[in-house]
Amino acid sequence: MNLIIKTMSCEVKPKAVSLFSGCGGLDLGFINAGFEIIWANDFFPEAVETYRRNISEHIVLGDITNIPSSDIPDNFDILLGGFPCQGFSIANKNRGMKDKRNFLYKEMLRIVKNKCPPFFLAENVKGLLTMHKGKVIEMIVNDFEELGYKVDYKLLRASDYGVPQNRDRVIILGNRIGVKNKFPEPTHGEKLKPLVTVEAVVGHLANLRMSYNCQYLEGKEVHNHIARTNVQDTFWGRKHKVNQHDVCDYLKYWRNKKGISTKKVDKHFGYKHTAGHWFRKDNNSGSIPNVSDWWELKKLLGFDNKFDNQVTELELKKIKFEQSLRINNWDRPSDTITATGPEIHPNKKRRMSVRECAIIQTFPDTFIFEGSLSTMYKQIGNAVPVLLGECLAKEIKKSYVSSNSITHKVQQELQTSTNEL
């Protein structure tokens, strides 16, 4: 009888609830490993649309801070969540605990507290480990431990698990059933399988024309093979140094003198909030008008010539080595696919396409993204590589099965089925 129950328990799919799901990279990995996602949430409309098209209708569009715990199903086995990472990222020079996004992990904490799942898994960027000299990750771990969970975290590199991408991510894993939190062992690298290269997975698309429509290559459908073409290595930049704070104070003086509100300035230009950045300097969020906007603003406010030369005189400059100029690797794993835009294709004629980025993130070829070009890039860059999610899920599933940490509902299903036998 015990053998029958064990066999049947393997057939019962562990249930998961997913927060900050995005387009579903992590969720798809867990589905591939035999989990059932019963509820998911994100506030990015295009990502939700993509999720619904490819995974399921169970995702809810909305801000998790406005969703009560009572709206989320009970009796699930694991809570998943890649809480927003922009505030923690080392690419964010102004990261700090004043950034509200950094506290969205507390929404995971709230659901864990109210639902008490056997497991939870959180994913975030490498920068989380060094923020405030390690005090932030310590705070997060302590918060979950206070709820009775054994918590461990580890920095994983996606390329070590067969993903053609050197993407480093912090995985925080917790359980309240007394088992050891196990992370998957690397499968690729030195003395293991060879790392998967960019050329190996997207080389066949190098010369395929760009198209929003579905194309066929060697009898297979190719979706979302579209890309940006901005690969210039020079730009027109300001010839003179200009202090944004000084310009801000100057423009605010003339705006007040003219008696015009920022809202009216925005309306005049037909912008939505853009003009507001010309009159602010908090948290380095201010900006200086471009040349055409400067002359138009001069007509509107009637200011003098004090900053005219500094703001409007331009010269051709070379772009320094930065994300916008990086050429993607070809004979080794890619650098991190980001949400802000892809690297240049090795052919130097275009950026990596949406489909190429999706393949590097190990989404299946049949996974179709919705939205504009920029929002598709953003969805992919924010996602967890599907294969990495699957590797994590398989390791958790081993603990799930071996510990018999099955929800009460599943236990009842097993007992009922056993009685019928």
CATH number at residue 10: 3.40.50.150
Co-location of 296 and 387 in the same domain: no
Residue after which a domain boundary falls, among 272, 289, 316: 316
pLDDT at 268: 87
Catalytic residues: 85
Co-location of 187 and 71 in the same domain: yes
User: Which spans in 211-321 are helix H?
Assistant: 244-258, 262-269, 291-301, 308-312
DSSP state, 196? P
pLDDT at 230: 75
Please say whether the beta carbons of 408 and 15 come within 8 A. Answer: no
Co-location of 246 and 155 in the same domain: no
Task: Note whether residue 124 is domain-resident.
Answer: yes
Tokens found for residue 25: 């990279």
Co-location of 308 and 391 in the same domain: no
Task: Note whether residue 393 is domain-resident.
Answer: yes
pLDDT tens by residue, 189-244: 999 999 999 999 999 999 999 999 999 999 999 999 999 987 766 778 899 999 98
Residue after which a domain boundary falls, among 288, 316, 344: 316
State the pairing for strand pair 215-217/220-222: antiparallel
Closest CA to 333 of 236, 177, 199: 199
Q: Is the pLDDT confidence value at 96 over 70?
A: no
pLDDT tens by residue, 310-368: 999 999 887 654 444 577 889 999 999 999 888 889 888 899 999 999 999 999 999 99
pLDDT at 85: 54
Task: Note whether residue 374 is domain-resident.
Answer: no
pLDDT at 240: 93
Residue after which a domain boundary falls, among 316, 339, 373: 316
pTM: 0.73
Q: Is the pLDDT confidence value at 2 over 80?
A: no
Tell me which residue range forms the domain holding 78: 2-191+382-420
Tokens found for residue 242: 């200009």
Co-location of 171 and 255 in the same domain: no
- Domain total of the chain: 2
Across 100-132, b (16+ Cβ under 10 Å) vs e yields: eebebbebbbbbbeebebbbbbbbbbbbbbebe
Co-location of 304 and 387 in the same domain: no
Number of Cβ within a 10 Å radius of residue 161: 23
**Could you tell me the strand order of the sheet in which 78-81 lies?**
59-61, 36-42, 15-19, 78-81, 119-125, 168-175, 150-157
